[in-house]
Chains A and B, each alone.
Chain A
Amino acid sequence: MSFLEFLAGRWTEILGLTLEHVVLVVISTVAGVLIAVPLGLAITRIPALGRPVLGFAGVIQTVPSLALFGLLIPLPFIGGIGSRTAIIALVLYALLPILRNTVTGVRQVDPAILDAANGMGMTDWQRLTLVEVPLALPSIFSGIRIATVVGVGLVTIAAAVGAGGLGSLIFRGLAMLDSRLLFAGAIPSAILALLADAGLAMLEARLVASRGAPTP
C-alpha cells in the first residue's frame, strides 16, 4: 500500500485532527493575545512590572514543552489529561513573544512623535490609543505571528497529554513504529505552520498599507 493510498484511506480522520489542531492553536493564541497585549502595554506605563512579568514569561519559555505539559497534569483545577491542560501550557508559551514585541513596539516609537503628541495636549490614554498602539502594531503583529507558528508545532506535542490534534498521529506512529502514520501527522502540521505564517504575513502587509488612510 502506497503512502497516498494510506492517506486516502484515512483522510477523514486526518482532516478531523487537523481541524482540532487549528482550533487548539487559535484558542491558545487568541487567549495569549488577550493577556499579553494589555500586559505589555501596562509594562510600558509601569516599568516596575517589566522585570517580573518578562522574567516569568522567559522562564516558561525555557521549560521543555513536554516537561511543562507533564508538570501541569497533577495540578488541581487547571491540570489533568486533555485539551484544557494543553491550552494553558500553549497560552503560557504564547506570552513571551507577544509581550516582548508589544513592549519593544511601543518603546521604539520616535520620541519626536511622542513629544508632538504630548505637546498637543493628549492625555496618556489618548497618546496610547492614538499614537503608541497604532505605531507599535506591526511589531505586536509579528509577535502574534511568531506565537502562532510556534503554537502549531507545540500542539503536536500536546497530544502527549491527550489534547488531540495531528500530534496524536505522530505519537501513534512512534509507538507503532509506523512511519506512514508519523508522516500523516507531521506533514499536515508543517503545512499548517507555513500557511499560518504566510497568512499572517499577508494580513500584516495589509495592515501596514492601510495605515495613514484617511479616516472617514
Chain B
Amino acid sequence: MKGVAISFREVTKSFDQKIVLDRVSLEVSPGEVLVLLGRSGCGKTTLLRLVNRLVDADAGGVYVGGREVADWDPVELRRGIGYAIQGVGLLPNLSVGDNVSLVPRLLGWNAERRRERAAEMLRLVGLDPREHGGRRPDQLSGGQRQRVGVARALAADPQALLMDEPFGAVDPIGRRSLQEEFRSLSRELGKTVLFVTHDVSEAFRLADRIAVVADGGIRQVGTPGEIRDSPADALVRGLIEGAA
C-alpha cells in the first residue's frame, strides 16, 4: 500500500504535569522518510505513539490520511500502520515466524499466505526462515530480535511505518546493511515512514528530511543537507557536530 500523509498540528502532551510536547506541528508527506532525531527523553517515542493512538494528545490534532486519529477506530488505525516498538516487544509465547505474521493473522489471512509472508519478511531482514522461523524469541540475539520486530512491522504491507530506534541493538556492520536495505525498500514501496533515532549518522543516512527534537518542540526540519549546512541554532549544531 502506498503511503499516507501524517500531520501533527499544535500538539501538546504532558505526563504528570510535565510538558513533553509543546504545540508541535509537523507534516510528513506520503512516501516520505522523516527521521525524528534527538536526545533520549526529548519526546520522540511519544510523537510516534500519538500517531497510532497509544498516546492521546492533550490538545491539538494528529492526522493520518487527512483524518484526525481521534476519529479513527483505534484497532483499524493500528492495523494499517506498522510499528516497530522500542525494546521490540515480541510475544515470547509465539515462534519468530508467528510473531512476524501476527498482524496478517489479525487481518484474517489464511495460514498458507501468512507462512509465505513471514518467510519473505524474515529473508528481507537478513534472517533464514528455516533456521530462525521456528525458534522462540528468547533463542535469538538482541539484534536478531530487532530484525524480527522490523519484519513484523512490515508484514501486513501497511501504508505507514513507525520505527522506534529499530536498529539500536544490531551490531554496527549489520546495522549498516539494514539501513541500506530499509532505505531502498521504503523508497521502492513508497511508504510513509516516521523513524526515531538518537544516532545522528543513522538519521543522515536514512532521511528524506530530519526533524530535530529538543525541549518539547521541533528545533529544525530539513533535508540532511540543509541541517548539515545551515543548522538553525547552537543546539542543532552541537548535536550534529558531536556525532561527526
Contacts and interface: CB of A to CB of B under 8 A. Distances in A.
B8 interface: no
A104 interface: no
A113 B92 contact: yes
B133 A214 contact: yes
Contacts of B103: 120-121
Interface stretch (B60-68, B70-78, B189-197): B70-78
Contacts of B89: 110, 112-113, 115-117, 119
Contacts of A108: none
Contacts of A215: 94-95, 98
Nearest to B158: A121
A134 to B, nearest CB: 4
Interface in A118-136: 118-123, 126, 130-131, 134-135
A119 B78 contact: yes
A116 B79 contact: no
B91 interface: yes
Contacts of B17: none
Interface in B83-110: 83, 85, 87-95, 97-98, 102-103, 106
A214 B83 contact: no
A120 B92 contact: no
A212 interface: yes
A211 interface: yes
A211 B78 contact: no
Interface string B130-152: 00011111100000000000001
A91 B79 CA distance: 42
B79 A135 contact: no
A121 B78 contact: yes
A212 B94 contact: yes
Contacts of B78: 118-121
B234 interface: no
Interface residues of B, number: 32
B52 interface: yes
A121 B79 contact: yes
B93 A119 contact: no
A113 B102 CA distance: 13
B82 to A, nearest CB: 9
Contacts of A46: none
Q: Which residue of A112, A119, A123, A213 has the most chain B CB atoms within 10 A of its CB atom?
A: A119
B50 to A, nearest CB: 12
B243 interface: no
Interface in A186-216: 211-215
A214 B115 CA distance: 11
Given A116-B90, A214-B97, A214-B98, A121 B134 contact: no
B73 to A, nearest CB: 9
A116 B91 CA distance: 8
B134 A126 contact: no
Given A121-B106, A122-B75, A215-B98, A116 B85 contact: yes
B54 A118 contact: yes
Contacts of B74: 121
Contacts of A126: 106
A112 B85 CA distance: 8
Q: Which 8 A-B residue pairs are closest in the complex by CB-CB distance?
A: A116-B89, A121-B78, A212-B136, A121-B79, A119-B83, A214-B95, A134-B93, A112-B89
Interface of A: 110, 112-113, 115-123, 126, 130-131, 134-135, 211-215
Interface of B: 52, 54, 74-80, 83, 85, 87-95, 97-98, 102-103, 106, 133-138, 152
